[in-house]
Structure 1
């Protein structure tokens, strides 16, 4: 499970009357991660959008009429118990969903690949070194991928409805490949071979609908 998200959610459980954390900034971060493909955060994103997106941040307190500031803050304090319930259920759901991903070691993954398997669904490749590997024709669907693919053969490879984080495709061969409906973040493509490579309807951070034009304009330059 993404520890950063768990820490973020636990910080949101801090009583707002203590003013130890700025809940609005934290809620904005949650919404950004939801927009970036972490769909388990949808209940909290809705909580934020259904009335608290205008809640003044603590750092902006001096810009607000003081009585109005405390009135809005009081409303938030009164609904904080609802937020805590949403957070607890969200963390529970994330733990259940996490169990749906089967984490493979590099040895296990390559053994399955060499035995002839080419379609991988709901697997977790975390911090995996796959440099210089022959992964041509492989399909990843609904997977979590954090891997180093530098100089690998990914001709005809497909990445569909997956989360691709802190991955490295520099100088990899992505010819005739496909990335579609994927969330990508801190991922590098500089120098990759991309002849007939299709990049369609993907998202990065809060930006959605990133396609071939954006890939050719700036994504390919990420390093």
Structure 2
């Protein structure tokens, strides 16, 4: 199924008001794809730009956020490694991050020389990852579609700081993830406070969309039942 069709079905099923984006790690961008015309302060800053158009960001374009560059699997220069060390030390000093936690932050492996980003509807290649901004209600449906609302299944992988760690987590596990976000993500992306980040491996997107449509239908049935129950009690 085409990226455009999947994006449209995903948007309808969840009632999305922000376009889902896709991204692929690659050494060579498709012909005619430009690089972004301005710098961003973090790797997650590219996610919002990708809602607008397709572009290729080389590894060095991610270096304004040493943690994001590390998580994306890009090689760090000595200067960037020093910045990363200083940043992690500052995070530990203010109790934002524990020293042992910093050592466990996942990264993409193997990575590429850069990342192709863009709206899912416009990508001409299969995305390795699809990113979606979810409200709590949408996250409920997403959780059900991922199969992790079932008490006999494992819990959905939920991550915290840094938010970008949801990407390598989804890639390595091969399963959908949810991130509660981090202060950097919320500052740099300016995403509304009521949104969570979902990361879906590209190969599992079609099955997730099909499951979402079934979850929406079953929830519509249950909502009608609950509304009837509420109305009956109100008139009793």
TM range (shorter): under 0.3
Structure having the higher strand fraction is 1
Say which structure, 1 or 2, has more relative contact order (CA 8 Å, 6+ apart). 2
Normalized against structure 1, the TM-score is what?
A: 0.26
Normalized against structure 2, the TM-score is what?
A: 0.25
